[in-house]
Structure 1
Amino acid sequence: MSLIKKGISALLITGLIMSCDEDGYEPIEPVDSSGGSIGSVFSSFEVSSSGDGTIVTVTPLTVGVDSYVIDFGDGSTPLTALQGESATYDYSNVEASADYTITVTTKASGQTDLVKTEDITVEHTVQSIDSAPASPEVKRYNLLNIFTDASSVGTAGTGGKAVILDSGNNLLEFSRLHSDVGEFALSDEVVAADAFYSGVGSNDIHFDVYSDFATGIDKLKITLVDSTNGTSHVIDDLDLNDGEWTGFDLDLATDFSTPVTQFETILFEKGSTGTANDHATITVDNIYMSRMTGSTILNGDFEDGQDFWKWTTFTDGETNPFGSSSDGSNQDYDGVDTGSKTRGAKWSSSQSGGDLRTSSSRYAYQELNLVPGADYILEYQYAIKDDSGTDPIGGRKVVGVILDGQYDDGADAVDNIGDNLGFHEGYVAKGKFSDTTDGAGTLVQIPFTANDSGEVAIVFYAVTPKDAYIDNVKVLPLNP
């Protein structure tokens, strides 16, 4: 059996070649004519593929025939071609791989038909699209990437594959959705209420889906599977746009068959009333969940080090926000005295910003989506070493700021620190947290009102020749 694959421009399947020393040809009895005895010889035929792998050309190697008939073995009407010509046929793309028997029969006036067959396997690999939707504009830390350019927390399972465009954009491709199911398996379960952090969740999920109706599907069914509880959350017959990317923003509480509390597998299928054509392929990108509006600071006790405080981009600067420390407050995040130090955030003299800003300065940054116009308090504890050293002008200090907006580049945020909703400069230098009377340093509370968009950011930095610390950062509604 010969194998024909997509992308192979000419895969040759050759039968027995005519030779004086071989018996691989079929002569027939000659007939009389004025020119003497003549006959027909059918030695073999060549089969080659082109295009997407399902376009097959058959070229018989014959002598003394008028024409030949080719049956491509899929139930279609056989094709007829003249001596010396080839015949081309395009097999269906419905199956990814299918076996056929090609039968070639010679036709010559007054002579017996000669027949040869060849078994072949035709494999069709879907041609990937070369376009991608725009990357999500949801701000940093407010996006849980399930599958985007930024990251993936799962893999394409049954019926799917990952595609990387020349641009570097990552896409998911699911084919044969006539009856197959495309599966994307997450590496871990997503709990909607805790999608970002303990108690910080999401109310929605986004998908971008592409389908060309001539080779795809026109309606989509999405299922979020919760194997732990044996539950499937379904939304059916979503309308796709023909030859365009379609974006879906789905409410986890109301848009599915039942409210989605958790899931670890996403299934893609043809909609119940939909139509599938050709190889029935869809392409998927930008699967993500948005952080719900709320004032919860993530990793406010710094027990997870720099998580949720670190910059992605800081032009001509340092993306690390601070140095992790075991010299934090004696109080835990709930204000309970633990009797010993907890973890915290630390700045050394070389990491100082403000008047001591250099390319090594470090700035902690975290975004929040608050209720527009609502009143809040930024609360934290700080401590500054009182060791001898040359103080900067104005003295050593720890600075907390509520920025009036959110920034992709740390350099832009620092340059616009004056555009804020509130700030505090703390000058109390009594040593590390453990050196203070209660081991809790100095408590700061900064009242502020959220802007019209609700998109704000919290920034911390230190200006000191010695070490400085913060711990237990919270943003609290003023009138909960």
Structure 2
Amino acid sequence: MNLLRKGIFALLLTGLIVSSCEDDDTIVAPNEGNAGTGLTEITFPSHAITVKIEDGDGTIVTVRPQGLGVTSYVVDFGDPNSTDDVITITEDAGTATYDYPNNIEEETYTITITAKSNKGFTDVVQTRNVTVEHKLTTLSSAPLSPTILDENVYAIFSDGIEIDGAFTAYTNKLSSSIFDGDDAEYNEVEVGDIKNKVIQYSRLHSTISASITFDPAIIIADVFGTGTSADYIHLDLHSVHDIGVDKVKITMGGKTFEQTLENDMWTGVDIDFASEGITQIDEITLELGTGGTANNEATLNVDNIYLYREPLSVPDFTFDDVASDYDVTFTDASLLATSYSWDFGDGIGSSTDANPTYSYNDDGMERIYMVTLTTTNFINKPTSITKEVTVGGPAGPLNPEILKGDFEREGGASSDDTNIRNAWKISTTGNSNPFGTSSDGSCIDYEGTLGSKTRGAKWSGSQSANPDGTAVPGDTRYAYQAVTLSPNEDYIFEYEYAIKTGGAETNSVVASILNGHFSNSADAVASNALVKHVGTEAKGKFSDNSCSGGTTMKLQFRSNSVGEVAIFIYAVTDVDAFVDNVKVYPVE
């Protein structure tokens, strides 16, 4: 609230003696001074009070009391939500001004004026009821939601990312902000059908400012933790000129910026920390810009205050090293890369091409080189990846043997189920068995011949994983088998699956080739697969519908630089699901 001396429009309560805003006359009885020489009591009639309400805003009220024998007045403006609404007047014919909240459209307050004397006279109390009317500032629009990926945003004030008419909250969001700091009046409003929250600061007249403070301060170099910095800060600003401001001054990190606002249009402001030399933000101050104009409530709307980083490039590459061939072509598979720097690992070769071909020294020996690709993003921040590249050596890709890929017992012995499970077991937070063996396998045997149904792997609804693949402790079952292939060769991952009908539409069998070998299921689930398929075809068991219940999948992938991959299978289902005839073989 602001204590001001303003008199634009006067609501004059009639009486014998009144005064105007421009008039400093006082009430003086004949032959007596205002101090009340010879008086025996305070003379303070109710009609000796002038109340003025400011035009155009409607919340600023000025009270001017007058009387005889009075040395001070205590004016209580009757605002139940404030402790700053009691003002003492010690000067003759002085005034008290109070700024009521402007987020209330209409309210009646009781103003109490107590006349006091230092001559021992009894206090005299007068009251006035005043109705404050204020046209609330409404917003017809809100700024667009940020298009930056969530992991690259650190929000100070924002509802989040808008998706299909709803907001998804940011993963990174500051919770130690104080938005109603300083002298400006703070309010939050909701805009539009999805109730986008927007800050409103009012009273940005003259030197009155709004201040957003942070405790602890924001350290730019560690915004995202573990020493990961932000590159910019963004603010969306808006004002309707006839009730707001046309220019805003923004101060943070020891730097000041000016922004001119178009009438009733949102303006985005982005500040580059590196170019401005800002390393820490203790507070953000918003005030009327230099040479700017503030009208009526001087309201500024603010939304989407967030720090963000330019997404780092994600370097990746493949290569077509051929056995006994020392010429290797590297193919860029990076994301968001703006430049390339190759180190071919032999201490000699380098390149800045996106897709270089490099000739290693042909000494007739198989050699392994550690090749590093460094890429930069839009603001030249580097990121690197290193892979093993083998040149020379024997020809032809390995054709691996998949243990128990047909899930059949040897010699029909039921005890062989344990051997089948052991071939597919991985340490897990789920059940120690990877699946239940079943006689309801595929009607096609491992050699591809159609006949009667064979054995297969079975997952019941109680053995399902969570939708994101993580384990339900004690229940979820995973099938896992480590496989060693020729490095950087194209392979086919083949398997059959079946899902009983009548379950949820989201039921699925998830099968993937993992990039590496793993010792526990949690790491396997969290890893990036070389190839992955989520099968949702529910045609019944393999043997249903004249043995047409199964679905055959053939997925092509390229092995990694060391040839170490793994087969990983699980189910997300509330009905029985089956897998059979799992194979991995080179592309012909």
TM above 0.5, one fold?
Answer: no
| Bigger Rg, which one | 2
Give the TM interval when normalised to the shorter protein: 0.3 to 0.5
> Highest relative contact order (Cα 8 Å, sep 6+), 1 or 2?
1
